Amino acid sequence: MTQGIKRALISAPGKVILFGEHAVVHKKLAVAASLGLRTYLHLEENDTGKCRLHLPDVDIDLTWALSDLTLDVDRVTLETGHPMDIPEEIKKQFEKWMGVTQREAQRQAVLAFLYLFFVLKTDKPTSFGFTISTRSTLPVGAGLGSSASFATCISTALLVLFHHIPVGFAQSEKRESHLDTVNRYAYKAEQVIHGNPSGLDNSVCTFGGALSFRRGERFVPLEGFQSLQLLLTNTKVPRSTSALVAGVTAKKEKYPQVIDPILESIDNISLRCCEAFKRSNKDSLAEELEDLVDMNHCLLHALGVSHGSLEKVRSVTGEYGVKTKLTGAGGGGCALSIIRDDVNVETTNLVAQKLAAEGFDCYRTSLGGSGVNAVVLDNSLDQAWLMSADRETLEMHAT
Q: Do residues 248 and 305 make contact, with C-beta atoms less than 8 angstroms apart?
A: yes
Residue 197 touches ligand MEV, criterion: CB under 6 A: yes
Q: Rounded distance, CA 390 to CA 317, Å?
A: 31
Minimum CB distance to ligand MEV, residue 312 (Å): 21
Name the 3-class secondary structure at 321: coil
Which residues are CB-contacts of 117 (< 8 A; sequence separation ≥ 6)? 51, 69, 158
From candidates 212, 241, 324, 337, binder to ligand MEV by CB under 6 A: 241
Is residue 198 involved in binding ligand MEV (CB under 6 A)? yes
Q: Which of 200, 289, 335, 374 is close enough to bind ligand MEV by CB under 6 A?
A: 200
- Annotated active-site residue 267? The verdict is no
| Minimum distance from residue 24 beta carbon to ligand MEV (Å) | 5
State which of residues 9, 25, 158, 289 lies at the interface with ligand MEV (CB under 6 A). 25
Round to the nearest angstrom and report the end-to-end CA distance of the chain. Answer: 18
Residue 34 contacts ligand MEV per CB under 6 A: no
Map residue 7 onto helix, strand or coil: strand
Closer residue to ligand MEV in complex, CB, 36/166: 36
Where residue 153 falls (left for φ over 0; alpha for ψ -120 to 50; beta otherwise) is alpha
* Residue 149 touching ligand MEV (CB under 6 A): no
Given 11, 136, 146, 147, the catalytic residue:
147
In sequence order, what DSSP letters do the residues of 154-204 get, joined into one string? HHHHHHHHTTSS-TTGGGSTTHHHHHHHHHHHHHHHHHHHHSS--SHHHHH
Among 83, 139, 328, 331, binds ligand MEV (CB under 6 A): 328
Of 53-61, 99-107, 192-200, 340-348, the segment contacting ligand MEV by CB under 6 A is 192-200
Sign of the torsion angle spanned by Cα atoms 34, 40, 44, 48? negative
Binding residue for ligand MEV (CB under 6 A) from 329, 338, 355, 362? 329
Ramachandran region, residue 94 (left: φ > 0; alpha: ψ -120 to 50; beta: rest): alpha
Is 147 tagged catalytic? yes
Residues marked as catalytic = 147, 201
Q: Which residues bind ligand MEV (CB under 6 A)?
A: 17, 21-22, 24-25, 143, 197-198, 200-201, 241, 245, 328-329
